[in-house]
Structure 1
Amino acid sequence: MIGCLIIHGFTGGPHEVDPLRVYLSERTDWTIEVPVLKGHGEELNLENASHEEWLREADEALRKLKEKCAKVYVIGFSMGGMIAAYLAAMHKIDKLVLLATARRYLSLKYLSYHIAEMIGDGFKGKINDNELFTQFKSKFGDVPIKANIEFMKLVNYTKQYLKDVKTPVFIAQGQKDEMVPFKAAYHLDEEIGSEHKEVVFFEQSDHLICLGDDSNVLNKMIYDFLVQKIEVNAPV
């Protein structure tokens, strides 16, 4: 039996990766798990959540899946990508997929530019028409400072394990992604220790890569990567 663990991003939930989950479910008989990390999901409650808990919950989900399945794939989106890479370093898994992975923090250039734009719309009385304001009000408004610090701690902690990842890996990055710096995919390619690495950039995708215009192509490429036979030389 094959198992597939999919890990969502910071302040997100299973909805961020659901099109991919559905695509894989319709084409396979795999056991697919998409756990909700503490404080995440449809209603955020991140005040008391910690990066240690997020890592532990993902680790437990993987262990349970490995108990049932002889072969296991791990897929991670954004912060979930760093968690997935950490799991691949700590456990024997068969393949790893990293989507818009937060190898660094969210882009300060992006945030500063759009926050300035948001303030400008506020002065013009158009604040409710500002897309970023709507996102902040519905999502980031529920995110305490402590949770953002925990996110940064998780990225800092997991980066050191990238070199220990040896499983074949597929790295996908949207070219319109302004949340995670564009060069993050290149850094992942350089730092991950795997012999087999595939890096693909998607022209029409922003940070929510599983929900973007390239999602159908992305889903097929992930499926093809997971089902193909990859010969990897055994370590000496």
Structure 2
Amino acid sequence: MNEQYPVLEGAEPFYFEVGKTGILVSHGFTGTTQSMRPLGEAFAEAGYTVCGPRLAGHGTHHEDMERSSRHDWIRSIEEGYAWLKERCDTILMTGLSMGGTLTLYMAEKHPDIKAIALINAAIDIPSMQQVTELQDVRFLDAIGSDIKKSGVTELAYDQTPVHSVKEILALMEEVRSDLKKVRCPALIFVSDEDHVVPPSNAELIRDSISSEIKDVTRLHDSYHVATLDNDQDTIISQTLAFFKEHGV
């Protein structure tokens, strides 16, 4: 896929080559690596090798995203996974929103992933279904920057391509149908109040995956982009503790 716009400042992919255990980090739908960079930096400080890919069509211009598909997004994550496999003996993964969807996808396809942490992961967003019926509409309002903490803004598109909504719907359907293939330990973060992904997604994931260890942690002081919100420290500390215990 040929992107025609420069990458926005702050939306660049990030790589930290540290230890022999790697963490693959995925940002979400219409968002950028900016939403996950604090986690990536904390993981690297804790001794992990970290890869935070920029999903195809993201972090440039919404017209780039319109030209991308779920297959392009998956390819971006697969490339990050391959980068880590060349350097690490153990792979873990975490993701926000659609990044959580992609984390589940990778756990379904790569059983060698030892543990996952999902942050307001998306597998069923009924409000998006009506978009499939729209005719002659290319772009919708922005869905990014759903953050409770004042003064914090997510670097995300100010418009949402209708084509991209159809793509994430297809991705969620595919991932949802194979959730039973997820067997690794899973830490599931869910915000009490989320204006993008219904919090009920957390229970649906927990009840559908085959993992013996599947812990749900409620985030009481954050909206959808919890990685930039008031519960950021909680997400980082609990993910590190979970990966230390189960990522072997």
Provide TM-score, normalisation by structure 1: 0.80
Q: Runs ≥4 in structure 1, deviation > 6 angstroms? A: none
Contact 1:101 1:180 in 2 (8 A): yes
Where does residue 36 of structure 2 map in the other structure? 17
Contact 1:99 1:172 in 2 (8 A): yes
Q: 1:5 aligns with which of 24, 40, 46?
A: 24
Structure with greater proportional strand content? 2
Q: 1:38 aligns with which of 56, 59, 75?
A: 56
Instruction: Name the CA shift for 1:212/1:178 in 2 (closer, same or farther; >3 Å).
Output: same
Question: SS of the counterpart of 2:189?
Answer: strand
Provide TM-score, normalisation by structure 2: 0.76
Aligned: 1:75 with 2:94? yes
Letter in 1 for 2:222: S
Letter in 2 for 1:98: L
Where does residue 217 of structure 2 map in the other structure? 200
1: CA distance between counterparts of 2:246 and 2:26?
Answer: 24
Could you tell me the percent identity over the aligned residues?
Answer: 29
Q: How does 1:1-236 map to 2 (within 5 A)?
A: 1-28=20-47, 30-41=48-59, 43-44=61-62, 45-91=64-110, 92-105=112-125, 107=127, 139-141=157-159, 143-229=160-246
Letter in 2 for 1:180: V
Shift of 1:99: 0.6
Letter in 2 for 1:93: I
Contact 2:114 2:185 in 1 (8 A): yes
2: CA distance between counterparts of 1:86 and 1:79?
Answer: 10
2: CA distance between counterparts of 1:106 and 1:204?
Answer: 24
Shift of 1:75: 0.6
Shift of 1:43: 3.8
Structure with greater proportional helix content? 1
Letter in 1 for 2:174: Y
2: CA distance between counterparts of 1:201 and 1:2?
Answer: 27
Question: SS of the counterpart of 1:228?
Answer: helix
2: CA distance between counterparts of 1:106 and 1:57?
Answer: 26
Shift of 1:79: 0.6
Instruction: Name the CA shift for 1:229/1:188 in 2 (closer, same or farther; >3 Å).
Output: closer
Letter in 2 for 1:222: T
2: CA distance between counterparts of 1:200 and 1:144?
Answer: 32
Structure 1, unmatched stretches of 5+, are 109-130, 232-236
Q: Which has the larger radius of gyration?
A: 1
RMSD: 2.1
Instruction: Name the CA shift for 1:217/1:106 in 2 (closer, same or farther; >3 Å).
Output: farther
Shift of 1:140: 4.1
Contact 1:50 1:147 in 2 (8 A): yes
Where does residue 121 of structure 1 map in the other structure? none
